[in-house]
Amino acid sequence: MSHWARTAVIVANGRAGGAASVPVREVAETCRGLVGEVSVVRTGCPGHARTLAAKAARDGADVVVAVGGDGTAGEAAGGIVTAVEADPRLVGPALLCVPAGTGNSFYKEIWQDRPWHESIATALGGTRPHIRQLDLARVEETRDTVLLGACSGLVAEALDAAAGLTRLTGRVRYQEAVTTTLRDFVPHPARIVVDGEVVHDGSVILANVGGGRYRGGGFLLLPRSVLDDGLLDVCVVTGDLDPRELPGLTRNGRHLERSEVLYRRGRRIEIERTDGAPLTFEWDGEVQRGRTRYALDVLPAVLPVLSPTGRP
Ligand SMILES: Nc1ncnc2c1ncn2[C@@H]1O[C@H](COP(=O)(O)OP(=O)(O)OP(=O)(O)O)[C@@H](O)[C@H]1O
């Protein structure tokens, strides 16, 4: 049987948290049995996966296989989408993720708990691909694309703290960072605007926009999010909630039952800190500093992603 993909480029991040447990050689061998031509490129620095995926798109690859975690997946997604924006004649390669990171939230969104070699066999093994055209978000201030989500407050501050916990690795590192951040965490005053309507103006623990349902591997912040509905979801946890309750509540989405939490959908979400101080903000795990405001616009159906079925 001849399979559908002629060319695949494997973009591998050897610095991702789970890289040691997913040998790139094995990923390449699995792909070679299913795709005519497979090449492997390795990232040399942060941001490199974006450049490599954009080049693969310009070279006409059918598939980009991103071997790494959520950061690698987000960079590869951005590379594909910006290459196609720059040259609309290009047909963007489909993205296939192999979970070699720490949280691997994006892989789980698409493939749940399936082992990676099964996902590759399903994605590349048939005579036609199952592709979902996912939405991304674009940050107005920087023009960056966002795959998984963006968040102010607690999540962004915990990511910042995690960077300093070099003695720990993996999920334990992030859990410890959340615990440390919660010790003296102070909510920030912010205005949240959805499609031009102010939905909250006051104290905020976090405002998370996405994208993916999970952040940080296991926190179900956006339980109702659909990756290809043409809309962004936003969850605002107001300062009326005790922040120490949040890790427990977001394990299974129970925070949505609380009156201190707002959940909305829209095409454009604006988050602005209202006391003039810089807003601690992050997207796809990268902490940002210096600005008081960020606006995110949906880019509907721009990213082809290989999936178990065309739609969930
Ligand atoms: N050669 C490299 N040297 C240093 N950093 C790199 C290199 N290649 C990629 N990176 C960076 O490594 C970072 C971590 O990668 P990634 O997010 O994929 O793994 P992770 O953090 O372990 O997983 P997750 O995000 O799923 O928790 C990314 O920010 C990426 O830009």
pLDDT of the residue at 312: 46
DSSP 244-260: GGHHHHTTTTGGGGSTT
For ligand 1, atom 10, which residue shows the shortest CA distance?
46
- Regarding an ipTM greater than 0.90, the answer is yes
The answer to whether the CB of 78 is under 6 A from ligand 1 is: no
Q: Sign of dihedral through CA atoms 242, 245, 246, 249?
A: negative
CA 73 to chain centre: 7
Q: Output the CA 219–ligand 1 centroid distance in Å.
A: 20
Domain 146-301 sits in CATH at: 2.60.200.40
Over the chain (312 residues), what is each successive 10-residue block's mean pLDDT?
A: 91 92 96 97 97 98 97 97 96 96 90 96 94 98 96 92 81 86 95 98 98 85 97 98 95 96 98 97 92 98 92 49
Site to substitute for ligand 1 among 13, 43, 70, 219, most atoms within 8 A of C-beta: 13
Residue 107 · residue 261 · CB < 8 Å: no
The answer to whether the CB of 93 is under 6 A from ligand 1 is: no
Q: Determine if residue 301 is left, alpha or beta; phi over 0 gives left, psi from -120 to 50 gives alpha, anything else beta.
A: left
Residue 10 · residue 65 · CB < 8 Å: yes
b or e along 15-46 (b: 16 or more beta carbons within 10 Å of the residue's beta carbon)?
bbbbbeebebeebbebbeebbeebebbebeee
The answer to whether the CB of 102 is under 6 A from ligand 1 is: yes
Q: Output the CA 106–ligand 1 centroid distance in Å.
A: 14
CA dihedral of 15, 20, 24, 26, whole degrees rounded to 10:
-170
pLDDT of the residue at 217: 64
The answer to whether the CB of 171 is under 6 A from ligand 1 is: no
Residue type, 156: A
pLDDT of the residue at 63: 98
Site to substitute for ligand 1 among 72, 106, 111, most atoms within 8 A of C-beta: 72
Counted residue by residue, the chain has a size of 312
* Separation of alpha carbons 257 and 245, rounded Å: 13
Q: CATH 3.40.50.10330: which residues of the chain?
A: 7-129
* Separation of alpha carbons 294 and 203, rounded Å: 17
Q: CATH 2.60.200.40: which residues of the chain?
A: 146-301
Q: Output the CA 75–ligand 1 centroid distance in Å.
A: 10
Residue type, 15: R
For ligand 1, atom 11, which residue shows the shortest CA distance?
46
* Separation of alpha carbons 60 and 53, rounded Å: 11
Domain 7-129 sits in CATH at: 3.40.50.10330
Helices (H), the chain: 24-32, 48-58, 70-86, 105-111, 116-125, 154-164, 170-183, 246-249
Q: Output the CA 58–ligand 1 centroid distance in Å.
A: 23
The answer to whether the CB of 216 is under 6 A from ligand 1 is: no
* Separation of alpha carbons 305 and 309, rounded Å: 10
Pairing of strands 293-306, 268-273: antiparallel
pLDDT of the residue at 49: 98
Give backbone dihedrals phi and psi of 132, rounded to 5 degrees, phi first: -105, 135
CA 127 to chain centre: 29
* Separation of alpha carbons 30 and 33, rounded Å: 6
Residue 31 · residue 124 · CB < 8 Å: yes
Q: Sign of dihedral through CA atoms 212, 175, 203, 71?
A: negative
The answer to whether the CB of 114 is under 6 A from ligand 1 is: no
Atom of ligand 1 nearest to the CA of 47: 31
Q: Output the CA 294–ligand 1 centroid distance in Å.
A: 24
The answer to whether the CB of 115 is under 6 A from ligand 1 is: no
Give backbone dihedrals phi and psi of 31, rounded to 5 degrees, phi first: -65, -40
pLDDT of the residue at 248: 94
First to last CA, the chain: 26
